[in-house]
Amino acid sequence: MGRYVVRRLLQMIPVFIGATLLIFLMVNVLGDPVAGLCGDKACDPATAARLKHEFGLDQPVLQQYATYMGHVFTGDFGTAFNGERVIDLMGSAFPVTVRLTIVAVLFEIVLGLGLGVLTGLRRGRLLDTAVLLLTLVVISVPTFVTGLLLQLLLGVEWRWISPSVSPDAAFGELIVPGLVLASVSLAYVTRLTRTSLAENLRADYVRTAVAKGLPRHRVITRHLLRNSLIPVVTFIGTDIGALMGGAIVTERIFNIHGVGYQLYQGILRQNTQTVVGFVTVLVLVFLAANLLVDLLYAVLDPRIRYA
Query: Where in the chain are the domains?
Result: 1-76+274-306, 89-269
Q: What is the pLDDT along the chain (307 residues), one digit of tens a residue?
A: 677 778 878 888 888 888 888 888 887 776 666 666 665 666 667 777 777 777 777 788 888 888 888 888 888 887 777 778 889 888 888 999 999 999 999 999 999 999 998 888 888 788 888 999 999 999 998 888 988 999 989 888 888 888 888 888 888 889 999 999 999 999 999 999 998 888 888 877 788 888 888 887 788 877 788 788 888 888 888 888 888 877 888 888 898 888 888 888 887 777 788 888 888 888 888 888 888 887 787 777 666 655 5
Question: How far is CA 279 from each of CA 8, 14, 27, 59, 132, rounded to the nearest angstrom?
Answer: 22, 17, 10, 22, 35
Annotate 211-231 with b (16+ C-beta within 10 A) or e (fewer). Answer: eeeeeeeebbeebbbebbbee
Q: What is the DSSP letter of 158?
A: S
| The residue count for the chain | 307
Instruction: Answer for the pair 20, 62: CB distance below 8 angstroms, yes or no.
Output: no
The CA distance from 231 to 290, in Å, is 13
CATH number of 89-269: 1.10.3720.10
Question: Are 11 and 290 spatial neighbours (Cβ–Cβ below 8 Å)?
Answer: no
Cβ atoms of 175 and 127 closer than 8 Å: no
Asked if residues 143 and 250 have their Cβ atoms less than 8 Å apart, the reply is: yes
CA 67/CA 180 separation, integer angstroms? 39
In this structure, are residues 242 and 282 in contact, taking their beta carbons and an 8 Å threshold? no
